[in-house]
Chains A and B, each alone.
Chain A
Amino acid sequence: MIELYHVWKQYQKPLWALSDVNLSVTRGEFCFITGPSGSGKSTLLKAIYREVIPTEGQIIISGINIQRIPDHKICAIRRQMGIVFQDFRLLFHKRVFDNVSIALRVLGAPPRDMKRKTFIALRMVNLQQRLWDYPSQLSYGEQQRVAIARAIVNNPRILLADEPTGNLDPDLAHEIFGLFRVINKQGTTVIICTHDKELIRRFGGRVLYLHEGKLHEKDVG
């Protein structure tokens, strides 16, 4: 489903944000990427949805080499993905409902469908009462959950989450991870970047460790 071959990324000399990353994530897998701050976790995810273009190497998503396709074709790939951005990227002049439904609107979903699915997604993150508020009226943790709702609203085949529980209390974080597990059980490939070793230990699974741009695989039971 997701394959990276010898991916290198350099923003500025002489630092390498990613150095020779090789990774293969199969369909339906659930895996964590962890590592210290600045180790390149966000860069790796951004390379997968092509917000950053690797200096070298190839990335293949569902059999398509995303380095080779022209810019205007990347939208087809992104439609299969749900992305939780580390900085949320909510639109502050739009209501919670519109922030979440934007992912359905670009698909041309009929309005009724859009309303129903948006409501369901917001209920999953426990924000169904706030759909008429603006993001500025929400706490950081609530904003983060809006970002999660937007990522899952279109039933993505790939879910990429960058620190999705960074601002949540342990109980809520656990709940959100549980939600990701449920989505994963329905067949979605899930990749989560997180610092939270405690949660990784509790949920287990495949864990990838990034350090200074180098990827190491390690199994945490």
Chain B
Amino acid sequence: MNSLWQFKIRHVFSLTIICLSFVIVGVFLSMSNNLRFRARELSKNLRVVFYLHKDLTASERGLIDDEIRHSPLVDSVRAVGPEEASEKFIEDFPELKDILLNLNINPFPPSIEASLKDPGLPTEKIIQFIAEVKKNSGVEDVQFNREWAEKIRSLGRLTEAIGFFLGGILVLASFFIVSNVIKLNVLARKSEIEILRLVGATNTFIRIPFLLEGVILGVAGSCLSLFVVFFLIKLFPLYLGSSLGALQEIVGFRYLTQTQVLALIFGGGCVGFLGSLSSLARFLRM
């Protein structure tokens, strides 16, 4: 059994591949975690923003304001003037400040932000309400944040799917690499296996060390990958994050949940176990 613990180049190689595969899965998972988190934040307070024509008179604005305020769906209403909108924009995107100031004119239209009463309202009802208000010719555009939330959420799902696809291919590669490492070990220990058989070892007794080695490789590889993902998440905002500005909210990472961590470790163990088992089935016929 001693030879089991001899560390070989092939072990380093297989650990690297397993680790890499799980890093890919982990990175995409953490990105999708972030997107899901943003989507949840967004949909927490349902908000509809009505952008109005720039050259609307105060009384015309008041009329629209009244209509929105009296809708049974609306909780509160806030009118945002062009100056306030501009300030908010500069606050959100400080790096774009100069561009905005160089424009000489304020490009932001006045708007009315309506907070809705119940975040659980069905989307169709809100759309109906928006359509109602939109009939008013003073309303130029409407932004409804639930649409955003849903877009971001589906982006999250897409990210996750890409992650599982790429990761899946690499995990398959890990499977074959573990299987080959075990095959080399079986061949290297041929004489020992033969003697074990001749002195009456059961198949299980002979197999266990190889299976154990596969599982250890898998679990070690996936644990290693968790460290790598952890450091990526930690270092990302320091090196790349700042250059992304507000985009960081979308392209950022969020730590993996406990379930995800356990699932990745368990997945590593499974890949190792199955890789080893497939090799034993072929090269250790009994």
Query: Assuming A71-B286, A72-B286, A106-B205, is B200 touching A89 (CB within 8 A)?
Result: no
Given contacts A72-B203, A106-B205, whether A89 and B286 have CB atoms under 8 Å apart is: no
Determine if B198 and A78 form an interchain contact, defined as CB atoms under 8 angstroms apart: yes
Are A102 and B202 in touch, CB under 8 angstroms? no
Asked if B192 lies at the interface with its beta carbon under 8 angstroms from chain A, I say yes
Q: Closest B-chain residue to A85, C-beta based?
A: B198
A71 vs B202: C-alpha distance when bound (angstroms): 10
Q: Which of B3, B195, B203 lies in contact with A102, CB distance below 8 A?
A: B195
Given contacts A89-B195, A91-B191, A91-B195, contact A72 B202 (CB under 8 A): yes
Question: Which residues of chain B have C-beta atoms less than 8 A from A107's C-beta?
Answer: 200
B212 to chain A, nearest CB (A): 16
What 0/1 readout, one digit per residue, does chain B (160-197) give for beta carbons within 8 Å of chain A?
A: 00000000000000000000000000000001101111
Given contacts A72-B202, A72-B203, A72-B286, contact A106 B3 (CB under 8 A): no
Interface string of A165-195 (1 = CB under 8 A from B): 0000000000000000000000000000000
Tell me the minimal C-beta distance from A134 to chain B in angstroms.
13
A83 — which chain B residues lie within 8 A by C-beta? 198-199
B208 vs chain A, min Cβ distance (A): 12
CB distance from A106 to the nearest CB of B (A): 4
A76, A80, A93, A102: the one within 8 Å of B196 (CB): A102
Cα of A150 to Cα of B191 in the assembled complex, Å: 16
Size of the chain B interface, CB-CB below 8 angstroms: 16
Q: A103 contacts the other chain (Cβ, under 8 Å)? A: yes
B196 contact set on A, CB distance < 8 A: 102, 106
Contacts of A34-81 to chain B: CB distance below 8 A: 49, 51, 71-72, 75-81
A76 and B205 alpha carbons, distance in the complex (Å): 13
Q: Is B201 an interface residue (CB 8 A)?
A: yes
Tell me the residues in window 147-161 of chain A with beta carbons closer than 8 Å to chain B beta carbons. Answer: 150, 154
Contact at B192–A106, with CB atoms within 8 Å?
no
Quick one: closest A residue to B3, CB to CB? A93
- Shortest CB-to-CB span from B39 to chain A, Å, is 55
CA distance A94 to B205 in the complex (A): 18
Choose among A75, A76, A91 the residue with the greatest number of B CB atoms under 10 Å from its CB: A75
Q: Is A51's CB under 8 angstroms from B202's CB?
A: no
Are the CB atoms of B192 and A75 closer together than 8 Å?
Answer: no
Q: Of A78, A85, A94, which contacts B200 at CB under 8 A?
A: A78
B-to-A contact residues, CB < 8 Å: 2-3, 191-192, 194-203, 205, 286
Can you name 25 A-B pairs with beta carbons within 8 Å? A49-B198, A71-B286, A75-B197, A75-B201, A75-B202, A75-B203, A78-B197, A78-B198, A78-B199, A79-B200, A80-B200, A83-B198, A89-B194, A89-B198, A93-B3, A94-B2, A102-B195, A102-B196, A103-B200, A106-B196, A106-B199, A106-B200, A106-B205, A107-B200, A150-B199
Query: Given A71-B286, A75-B200, A80-B200, list of 20 further CB < 8 A pairs?
Result: A49-B198, A72-B202, A72-B286, A75-B197, A75-B203, A79-B199, A81-B200, A83-B199, A93-B3, A94-B2, A102-B199, A106-B196, A106-B199, A106-B200, A106-B201, A106-B202, A106-B205, A107-B200, A150-B199, A154-B199
